[in-house]
Structure 1
Amino acid sequence: MKAILAIFRKEMIDAMRDRRTLLVVLLSSLLGVPLLLLIVSEVLSQVESQEIKRTVVAVDIQYAPSLENYILRQGFLIQPAPADYEKKLHSKELTQPVLLVPRDFEDKLSHGEKVTLEVVFDTSNTQAQFGLRPLRKILDSYVQEHALLGLMMRGISPEVLQMVDIKERQISRPEERKVTITGMLPFMLIMAIVIGGMYAAIDTTAGERERGSLEPLMMNPVSGWQLAIGKWGAVATVSMTVVVLTVLSFFPSQWLIRNETLRAEFQFGASEALGFLMVLLPLAASLAAIQIGVALNCKSYKEAQVRNQILSLVVSMVPLTLTFNPGREPAWFQWAPVLAQNIMMNHVLKGEAVGYAAIAIALLVCTGLTVVSLAYVARKMRRVVMG
């Protein structure tokens, strides 16, 4: 035990001296979630601002007095578009889509001919795209009203075409909408774990091998298991620290949310924090062992970095499996590392209790991965260095 603690202490001191490791730990854990929530709240604010602007930018609206009257009756203001509206849309000076009205609009309508309204926007202008939905909504309402008035003028009751009434009823809870809005948070947490522990794992294996400090360590009377557990303990501590700091960053992150809707719906308290820690700490420990095993056979820091980046890519791809079965995850998902943690974190965000069986299975899988990885490291440690 003394040898393991000595190795652990030595590796922790090295990790704390490594500025790259400290920088990654602090940036990934303390800034990731606040930046994500700030970006999401900003996007939602832009969408809502377009909803409440109640302004329509149009060209030649004077040739469609019936449409103009309808838009004004809905409480919208009409602004004439600038002559160079396409240029301003592309340069983002104009933040709303532009409605183009043909000059024969009323003439075609009076003769029962089909008429086309054109809505111009730039796909690179995000705010203009956000304004597309409310504009389309008011235009669709106008088309529907015009069709119903045409039927009434011909003595046909509009109810003939409305024999079936469709009514929507929302049964999802506010917590479930919160998960939809902040669905990237579990992914961010897992990636913070992977990136946070990666450099510590590389430095304690390939980094020491490249610097030539691993061979003197092997000359001490320590076994492969003692070396593996000591090094893993230090890397796992770094990864777990990233988990704790990232989860704790949720609390001040809520102060940065500028959108009132998101602020009201995203309530992250002590119970959610405990749930996240219970789910993520075992995963952080197992990923640390895997990262050490991946970096162990590498002769240089750069080679180990490339291999661990491939591992990070694989881990980031795993949650995409959930998009194929949203809400209907097969039972075997709870045995898949990363997938199981992602599902359980979504349950926590929904306010649902995570079953003890699911927690036990995830803990069992993480423990198995850790033991297998450490056995590999213990067996290969001396062989790799001496080879």
Structure 2
Amino acid sequence: MKPRTRPLFIVVFLKELRETLRDRRALSLLLVFVLMYPLMVGGILNQQINRATASDKEGIELTVIGAGQAPTLMAQLKQRNVNITEADPLSEEQITSLLRGQKAAAVLRLSPAYASDYHDMRPARLELWHDSATDNGRRVRDIEDVLRAYGNTIAGARLLAHGVSPATLVPIQVQRYDTGTSASRSASVIGTMLGMFFIPAFFFALSPAVDSTAGERERRSMEVLLAQPARTIDLVAGKWFAASAVALVGLVVELCMAHGVLKWLPLEEIGMSWRLTWGDLVLVCLVSVSLPLFAAALEIALAINAKTFKEAQTTASFAMIIPMVPVIVVPMLDLATQLWMYLVPLLAHQTLLRELAKGQAVGPLPFLLTFGSSLLAALACVAFTNWRMKSERYMMGV
């Protein structure tokens, strides 16, 4: 009875995987990208949350010149959590220096004739100084809202004193209703960030893919493999699956970390939420299996022609930019979700995750197209690599 032997591609797969796990540089790179993207996205969103809630927690710092002329206005500002600092008359240079130093969100200067103009029912001038280059835009808008409400109150009181209804100045009344959910807003705002979760799949597969092809060719160990009684497709498949396995593990761990970070962040503070469930994440991970397969196949197909490890790494690194372009450009164009987006690898995964994050029902077709588009591209790259390794020109160059 003949002993059972493993298929040759599994032997190659185990050999390449063993060598990859021994490479501390590759494992260190894997760990860096697993941690980097979730922490980077979490840090950006956390900073936005802190900026949005800073005015509620700490108040808005406002420097007022001539505050004694408008005590009612000062009282209304204080009611809106505005911390008023009274100051003596300042020149334009002094105001600019004060704002650039971010010692105050804005400077409110009342004209010397403010009180007399107010009592004589003439337009009383207020000057609101602010620096648009700082991150105090929301605080300045809150101050403007108070000033606008104060002006409307005065106008209404003066009209009533003359026997005119304030409604005369408001011939129409517009009521706004926002049907967008917090989940849809969050998915739209961080749409570009969602694509960043899948980009590392190409980085995870880069080192094992390049090392098992151009690296072995440079070390002259490719000759030994090609001299073995094994089909070329077994060699290619073993290397392909080994690089894909490393990328798949890294991608799944990264997605789980990103999901945990987004669940932990208080996104409701900025009117957003993350409604993706762990069940949805499992579906995304299953569909994303084809992405590491494509990443590894593409990089092997490019690295197989390189004679040195450095040359292959450079070529593959530049080629990785191509799938990233739609991920960056499409969200910037603010296009509505269309079926063709699920046919573009990497963009398809970004689009699918964005739709799931909105809490919308996604049919089976987007899942199938997302999985199939990357898988077909991967098989095409594997077929090219197999054809290339069979050619006499490649054999003579090894």
**TM-score using structure 2 length:** 0.84
Shift of 1:47: 1.4
Partner residue, 2:14: 9
CA–CA separation in structure 2 for the residues paired with 1:332 and 1:252? 30
Cα distance, 1:63 vs structure 2: 5.7
| Match runs of 1:34-49 below 5 Å | 34-49=39-54
**Residues 1:115 and 2:129 are matched in the alignment:** no
Unaligned runs of 5+ in 1: none
Whole-angstrom CA distance in 2 between matches of 1:239 and 1:62: 63
Q: One-letter code of the match for 2:292?
A: A
| Closer/same/farther in 2, CA of residues 257 and 64 from structure 1, 3 Å limit | same
Q: Distance in 2 between matches of 1:297 and 1:30?
A: 32
| 2:285 partner SS | helix
One-letter amino acid of the structure 1 residue matched with residue 210 of structure 2: I
- Partners of 2:157 and 2:317 lie apart in 1 by 63
1:289 aligns with one of 287, 290, 297? 297
Q: Does 1:96 align with 2:105?
A: yes
Residue 19 to residue 107, structure 1, CA distance change in 2 (3 Å): farther
1:76-87 mapped onto 2 (5 Å cutoff): 76-80=82-86, 86-87=96-97
- Which position in structure 2 is the counterpart of 1:158? 166
Match of 2:368 among 357, 360, 364: 360
Shift of the 297–42 alpha-carbon distance from structure 1 to 2, 3 Å rule, reads same
Partner of 1:168: 176
- Please state how far the C-alpha of 1:353 moved relative to its aligned partner: 3.2
- Structure 2 counterpart of 1:25: 30
Q: Quote the residue 1:317 is aligned against.
A: 325
Question: What is the SS of the residue equivalent to 1:58?
Answer: strand
Instruction: Quickly say closer, same or farther: Cα 1:62–1:302, change in 2 above 3 A.
Output: same
Q: How far apart are 1:178 and its partner, in Å? A: 3.4
Deviation at 1:369, TM superposition (A): 0.8
CA shift, 1:216, in A, is 2.5
Alignment of 1:1-387 (within 5 A): 2-62=7-67, 64-65=69-70, 67-72=73-78, 74=80, 76-80=82-86, 86-87=96-97, 89-92=99-102, 94=103, 96-108=105-117, 110=120, 112-113=122-123, 115-121=125-131, 123=133, 125-126=134-135, 128-153=136-161, 155-180=163-188, 182-250=190-258, 252-253=260-261, 257=265, 261=269, 265-319=273-327, 320-326=329-335, 328-382=336-390, 383-384=393-394, 386-387=396-397
**Conservation of the 8 A alpha-carbon contact between 2:210 and 2:312:** yes
RMSD of the alignment, in Å?
A: 3.0
Taking the aligned partners of 2:217 and 2:124, their CA distance within structure 1 comes to 76
With over 3 angstroms needed to count, the CA separation of the structure-2 counterparts of 1:132 and 1:173, relative to structure 1, is same
Change (3 A) 1:322 1:178: closer
The alignment partner of 2:197 has SS state of helix
Counterpart of 1:119, as a letter, is W
**Any idea what the Cα deviations from partners look like across 1:267-286, whole Å, max 9, x if unmatched?**
55321221221232112211
Task: For 1:78 and 1:120, locate their aligned partners in 2 and report how far apart those are by CA, in whole Å.
Answer: 15
Secondary structure of residue in 2 paired with 1:131:
helix
Task: Determine what percentage of the aligned residue pairs are the same residue.
Answer: 20
Larger radius of gyration: 2
CA distance in 2, matches of 1:307, 1:98: 55
Q: Distance in 2 between matches of 1:101 and 1:209?
A: 77
C-alpha separation in 1, matches of 2:356 and 2:317: 29
- Check conservation: 2:34, 2:253, Cα contact below 8 A: yes
C-alpha distance in structure 2 between counterparts of 1:51 and 1:183, whole Å = 27
User: How big is the shift at 1:151?
Assistant: 4.2
Q: 1:223-280 CA distances to partner (integer Å, 9 max, x unpaired)? A: 2211211111011111111121112214543586366637993355321221221232
Stretch of structure 1 that moved more, 347-356 or 80-89: 80-89
8 Å CA contact retained: 2:183, 2:272: no
Which residue identity lines up with residue 187 of structure 2 in the other structure? V
Tell me how far apart the structure 2 counterparts of residues 221 and 179 of structure 1 sit (CA, whole Å).
52
Q: 1:224 to 1:162 in 2, by over 3 A?
A: same
Q: Is the partner of 2:143 in helix, strand or coil?
A: helix
8 Å CA contact retained: 1:38, 1:256: no
Provide the aligned length of Structure 1 versus Structure 2. 383
The whole-number CA distance in structure 2 between the counterparts of 1:284 and 1:271 is 21
- Taking structure 1 as the reference length, the TM-score comes to 0.86
The answer to whether the 8 Å contact 1:51/1:131 transfers is no
Letter in 1 for 2:128: E
Counterpart amino acid of residue 310 in structure 1: F
Q: Within 1, Cα distance between the matches of 2:217 and 2:17?
A: 17
For residues 188-247 of structure 1, give each alpha carbon's deviation from its aligned partner in whole angstroms, at most 9, with x where no partner exists.
211121222122222222222233332322222222211211111011111111121112
Maintained 8 Å contact 1:61/1:68 = no
Q: Are 2:63 and 2:86, in contact at CA under 8 Å, matched by a contact in 1?
A: yes
2:73 alignment partner AA: L
Q: Distance in 2 between matches of 1:95 and 1:6?
A: 68
